[in-house]
């Protein structure tokens, strides 16, 4: 794709063999484009796209939106006629967060529960929607600063779409919690009837993990679909969404090991170390989200270049 990049790579031993091999592998759906073309465009986008700077902006705005998002969900709980929904929500949040960090979020949640901020028309609820939308809008802003993005939305349209996506994500989270609760009830019934011993097989934990995986993939796909004007070209099962989901799960596993065995944040900073861990976790996931988006953006640009 880029002549001077190829010329420089041809001079490096072993690398030139990998380049030649990558050019022989054609990617279906890219009208003859090779694996090398995709990787080159992808790496250029990462290097020239100020990835970590964009991730920092997303992480800050998203971190500020976490607790308004929880306020929004907790305000809706009385209107959801499902027993155990609140406990199921807390359990899901505990599984999503890194080890030893739920205590910080739990304190805020208990404060929100013990100090009710009113119903659906209260100032706190409306403010939570505004701040929650800001978090999603920051993600979309990080997408539009990509090296490969050349079309932009106006501010009003971008904010309206961010509002719709934030509400859609909240709705999908509620649906996920309800499905997990119904799944647990169904397993209890099966165990009561004697069809299957759910305790020995850990079916509840495996099933909840599957629902969690589906939730992450769906939310990522929604963000990629509505994040930019070019998102309408992105399919639900996109390479970027698959990459983001798999890397997020792998990072979550490694990050959990790091927190449990190697982290000394609490020893250095005391109780505030928990918030630093949570902020670091959000920042890492922001980078992973941008990596997945850059892959989709690279493929989209390659298609446009080939058509032109």
Q: In this predicted model, what pLDDT tens digit does every residue of 40-79 receive, in sequence order? A: 777 777 777 777 888 888 888 888 787 777 777 777 777 7
What is the average pLDDT across 260-277?
66
Residues near 86 by beta carbon (within 8 Å), at least 6 away in sequence: 74, 77
Report yes or no: 30 and 303 within 8 Å, Cβ to Cβ. Answer: yes
Report yes or no: 98 and 252 within 8 Å, Cβ to Cβ. Answer: yes
pTM, 2 dp: 0.81
The closest of 66, 69, 67, 85 to 77, measured between CA atoms, is: 85
Band the pLDDT of 217: cuts 50, 70, 90: very high
- To 10 degrees, the CA torsion angle through 34, 40, 45, 51? 120
More confident residue, 293 or 92: 293
The closest of 66, 65, 76 to 171, measured between CA atoms, is: 76
User: What pLDDT score was predicted for residue 171?
Assistant: 86
What is the average pLDDT across 10-34?
67
The proportion of the chain whose per-residue pLDDT surpasses 90, expressed as a percent, equals 1
What is the average pLDDT across 148-164?
83
Q: Where are the domains of the chain?
A: 36-307
**3 state DSSP class of 34:** strand
Band the pLDDT of 8: cuts 50, 70, 90: low
Q: Which two tokens stand for residue 178?
A: 């309800």
What is the average pLDDT across 97-116?
67
In whole numbers, what is the pLDDT of the chain averaged over residues? Answer: 77
Report yes or no: 27 and 33 within 8 Å, Cβ to Cβ. Answer: yes
Q: Per mean pLDDT, which of 33-42, 235-244, 254-263, 299-308 is the most reliable?
A: 235-244
Long-range CB contact pairs, 52-57, < 8 A, 24+: 52/287, 54/142, 54/145, 54/286, 54/290, 55/142, 55/283, 55/286, 55/287, 55/290, 56/283, 56/286, 57/138, 57/141, 57/142
The closest of 292, 260, 277 to 63, measured between CA atoms, is: 277
User: What pLDDT score was predicted for residue 266?
Assistant: 59
More confident residue, 192 or 300: 300
Lowest mean pLDDT among 160-169, 192-201, 288-297: 192-201
Q: Which residues of 123-136 are buried (b: 16+ CB within 10 A; e: fewer)?
A: ebbeebbebbbbbb
User: What pLDDT score was predicted for residue 18?
Assistant: 72
């Amino acid at each position: 794709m880029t002549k001077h990049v190829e010329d420089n790579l041809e001079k490096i031993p072993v690398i030139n063999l990998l380049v030649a091999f990558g050019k022989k592998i054609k990617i279906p759906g890219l009208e003859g484009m090779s694996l090398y073309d995709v990787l080159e465009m992808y790496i250029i986008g990462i290097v020239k796209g100020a990835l970590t700077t964009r991730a920092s902006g997303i992480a800050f705005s998203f971190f500020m939106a976490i607790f308004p998002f929880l306020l929004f969900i907790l305000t809706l709980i009385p209107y959801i006629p499902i027993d155990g929904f609140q406990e199921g929500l807390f359990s899901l949040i505990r599984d999503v967060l890194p080890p030893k960090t739920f205590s910080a979020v739990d304190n805020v949640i208990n404060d929100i529960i013990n100090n009710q901020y009113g119903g659906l028309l209260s100032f706190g609820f409306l403010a939570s929607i505004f701040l929650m939308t800001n978090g999603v809008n920051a993600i979309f802003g990080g997408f539009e600063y990509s090296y490969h993005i050349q079309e932009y939305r106006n501010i009003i349209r971008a904010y309206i779409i961010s509002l719709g996506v934030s509400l859609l994500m909240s709705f999908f989270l509620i649906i996920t919690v309800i499905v997990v609760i119904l799944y647990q009830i169904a397993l209890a019934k099966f165990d009561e009837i004697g069809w299957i011993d759910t305790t020995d097989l850990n079916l509840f934990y495996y099933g909840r993990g599957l629902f969690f995986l589906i939730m992450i993939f769906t939310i990522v796909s929604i963000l990629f679909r509505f994040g930019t004007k070019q998102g309408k070209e992105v399919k639900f099962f996109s390479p970027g969404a698959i990459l983001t989901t798999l890397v997020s799960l792998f990072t979550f596993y490694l990050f959990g090991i790091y927190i449990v065995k190697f982290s000394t944040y609490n020893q250095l900073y005391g109780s505030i170390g928990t918030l630093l861990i949570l902020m670091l976790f959000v920042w890492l996931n922001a980078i992973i989200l941008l990596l997945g988006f850059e892959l989709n953006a690279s493929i989209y640009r390659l298609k446009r270049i080939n058509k032109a």
